[in-house]
Amino acid sequence: MAAPRRDTRGIVDAAELFARVRFRRREPARPLRPYLEHYWLIDWDLTQPYASHVVPHPSVNIVFQRYGGQEPFAEVSGIGLELFTQKLEGRGRVCGIQFRPGGFRPFFPDRPVSQWTGRRVRLPDTGTRAADADVRAVLAPDAEDARVAALDAFLLSLGPGPDPQAELAMALVDRIRTDRTIRRVTGFARVEGMSVRLLQRLFAGYVGVGPKWVILRYRIHEALERAESDQDVDWAALAADLGYADQAHLVRDFTATVGVPPTAYAARGVR
């Protein structure tokens, strides 16, 4: 596994978020790296409330959270199908585990990942050994390395086992993420020597959403990142590059996901 990503894909108004919170990505322990994208750590101390927005990745997260005067807690956050909004105020801390698409199932093998999709479930209700001690161990230390070590210990205690189907699902999603020529599920399945039905079943069991959803979501992430960095995007050319039939289809998907058309988003000038 490579070092944690440096891109801002999925984060709406990334510059605004980074100006208000302290955001870091950290690498997990070596035995966990095949399954995880990274850990993500956020701390904030705000004088005014702020709402962060994220276009979710096709990834399950486990999130340890402490907001203001609330009791700290941890939850499994299944793949979000809609724009995710979180209000931040006062002082707080979040320590998250972002699994690679397909990498969550080996830790929770008893149910298909699609059963977590669109849901947020407190850890004591997941059947794990997670307890208040785990939450405190992750959230209490001010030292960042100590928080990372606690996340490592928590995941290693779950003892993920080898799962060839998980490895296949992770490899397939990586291909979708990095290969722009993958635009249709039927063609992708054919190239991989699978039926569409078998591919869809694999994604439901190990990723949590279908391959078509993953293809579309990575397109929107790329369009969002381009809008973040360039006010003069050639949207017609980008639509063609991403495999859309025309610019109108890209605009439709972007607007439905982010809430504003791409040209209006780019024109806001938030960098």
* Helix ranges restricted to H, 122-210: 132-139, 144-158, 164-178, 185-191, 196-206
Q: Residues 14-73: pLDDT tens digits?
A: 889 999 999 999 999 999 999 999 999 999 999 999 999 999 999 999 999 998 778 899
For β-strands 73-77 and 84-88, DSSP reports them as: unpaired
pLDDT tens-digit profile of 117-150? 999 999 865 555 556 778 999 999 999 999 999 9
What's residue 131's pLDDT? 64
C-alpha–C-alpha distance, residues 13 and 81, integer Å: 19
pTM: predicted TM-score of the whole model, two decimal places = 0.90
129 and 214 share one domain: no
Q: What is the pLDDT of residue 271?
A: 38
Considering the domain architecture, whether residues 153 and 168 belong to the same structural domain is answered as no
3-state secondary structure of 43: strand
Are 192 and 101 found together in one domain? no
| Amino acid 77: pLDDT | 96
**Predicted confidence (pLDDT) per residue in 173-203, tens digit:** 999 999 988 989 999 999 999 999 999 999 9
The domain that holds 116 is classified in CATH as 2.60.40
pLDDT (0 to 100) of residue 270? 43
Q: How far is CA 69 from CA 66, 93, 141, 176, in A?
A: 8, 12, 17, 42
CATH of the domain at 221: 1.10.10.60
How long a stretch of residues is the chain? Answer: 271
Q: What is the pLDDT of residue 229?
A: 76
Domain count, the chain: 2
Query: Would you state the pLDDT for residue 128?
Result: 58
Q: Do residues 188 and 176 lie in contact, with contact meaning Cβ atoms separated by under 8 Å?
A: yes
CB of 79 closer than 8 Å to CB of 60: yes
Q: Is residue 4 part of a domain?
A: no
| Angle 42-45-50 from CA coordinates, rounded to 5° | 80
Residue 29 within a domain: yes
d(Cα 136, Cα 72) in Å, to the nearest integer? 8
Look at residues 149, 148, 154, 174 and name the one whose alpha carbon lies nearest to residue 24: 148
Higher pLDDT, 152 or 5: 152
**Residue 19 belongs to what domain range?**
11-158
Alpha-helical segments (H) within the chain: 14-20, 132-139, 144-158, 164-178, 185-191, 196-206, 211-229, 235-241, 247-258, 262-267
Has residue 2 been placed in a domain?
A: no
Share of the chain above pLDDT 70, in %: 94
My answer on whether 109 and 15 are in the same domain is: yes
Residue 240 per-residue DSSP state: H
The answer to whether residues 149 and 15 belong to one domain is yes
Which of 10-14, 95-99, 101-105, 114-118 comes out lowest in average pLDDT? 10-14
222-244: average pLDDT:
85
Q: Which residue has the higher pLDDT, 156 or 226?
A: 156
Return mean pLDDT, the chain: 90
Q: What is the pLDDT of residue 267?
A: 75
Do residue 80 and residue 102 come from a single domain?
A: yes
Q: Does 149 share its domain with 25? A: yes
Token pair of 266, please?
Answer: 């780019």
Percent of the chain surpassing pLDDT 90: 66
